[in-house]
A and B are shown apart, each in its own frame.
Chain A
Amino acid sequence: MGLLTDLRDSISRVVDRLFSESEPKRIGIYGPPNAGKTTLANRIARDWTGDAIGPESHIPHETRRARRKENVEIERNGKKVTIDIVDTPGVTTKVDYKEFLEHDMEKDDAVRRSREATEGVAEAMHWLREDVDGVVYVLDSTKDPISQVNTMLIGIIESQDLPVLIFANKIDLEDSNVERIANAYPQHETVELSALEGENMDEVYAKIAEYFG
């Protein structure tokens, strides 16, 4: 009896370790358009693997399809975690190709972009329900964090019981307000950073290792 329990315990320990070390956790980077998701994904990928994921841009929906970087090993404070980073397009409930026309684009191009954007958002939503092990939710800390889409998305993430970290990005900007984000979503941990300038990345990696490891 005791032997069996011991055996079972040690087997489950081995299994646990196998899974936690060899199976990368798939971490989805979600958040509204222009929050800095791709900038963050690129910084993480560059810091730990040496190359980037995809283009960053001030044009909304530059990331039309989810992009992924696999087997990114992050090590902090003796904790090691292997993650697949999935950079998603900003989740939204509407896409109007005419918005792209404002960025000096031909109609054909704009329509194609908006189609890719809608496919990307649908894919990102699908992944959230099926394929993601944890979520980093990126917000632009110069903007009001409470929007219908943010509230809805965070509700969806919570209903999936996924571990989630809220990243208050763009703290290098003068009108950044991290407190406002922390107050809006007090049920989750908020980590401040500047993905562009690389500010506070030590804490970012420590939290990623802690939450998703």
Chain B
Amino acid sequence: MPEATASDSTSDGVQIDLFSGNRMANLTSMEKIRLILDGVRDGNIVILEEGLSPDEESKLIEVTMAEISPDEFNGIEIETYPRSQTADQSFLDRLMGRQSTQKLTVIGPANQIQTLHKDENLISALVSRK
């Protein structure tokens, strides 16, 4: 179960599953990927407080590819903050030792991602909470 769920089932809002770093810490890579993809395939936006390791990201892409099926699921959008939004920030990242795992990661269904982009206040609100 997600750590926190903000749901608005009365309108055409999106459900957001927010997983804290603690919640994810004890899961295996495959459990994390399952948790993410189950949420996304239900049409939710999944937010990870601490993101995934590069190896887990690579497996997430691989498993996502295996699950894509016509007219049902066509993949994910994944965005991380604040890492590498601009060239300046990626320079900063390097200064700070870019291995930081504390990168807020937002994952959503590719066919609904307009919602994610449109609602930028939502993202900045979450980023500033950090």
| A→B interface (CB under 8 Å) | 91-97, 111, 114, 118-119, 121-122, 125-126, 128-129, 146, 148, 151-152, 155-156, 158-160, 180, 183-187
Contacts and interface: CB of A to CB of B under 8 A. Distances in A.
A123 to B, nearest CB: 9
A114 to B, nearest CB: 7
Interface residues of B, number: 30
B3 interface: no
Task: Specify the main secondary structure of chain A where it touches its partner.
Answer: helix
Given A91-B61, A129-B55, A152-B54, 8 more contacts: A94-B64, A114-B70, A125-B61, A125-B62, A146-B86, A146-B90, A156-B57, A159-B55
Nearest to B68: A118
A57 to B, nearest CB: 20
B39 interface: no
Contacts, number: 86
Nearest to A151: B84
Contacts of B78: 93, 148, 152
27 contacts: A91-B61, A92-B75, A93-B75, A93-B78, A94-B74, A94-B76, A95-B74, A95-B75, A118-B65, A118-B66, A119-B65, A122-B62, A125-B58, A125-B61, A125-B62, A128-B58, A129-B58, A146-B86, A148-B77, A152-B57, A152-B78, A152-B80, A158-B54, A159-B53, A160-B54, A183-B87, A186-B94
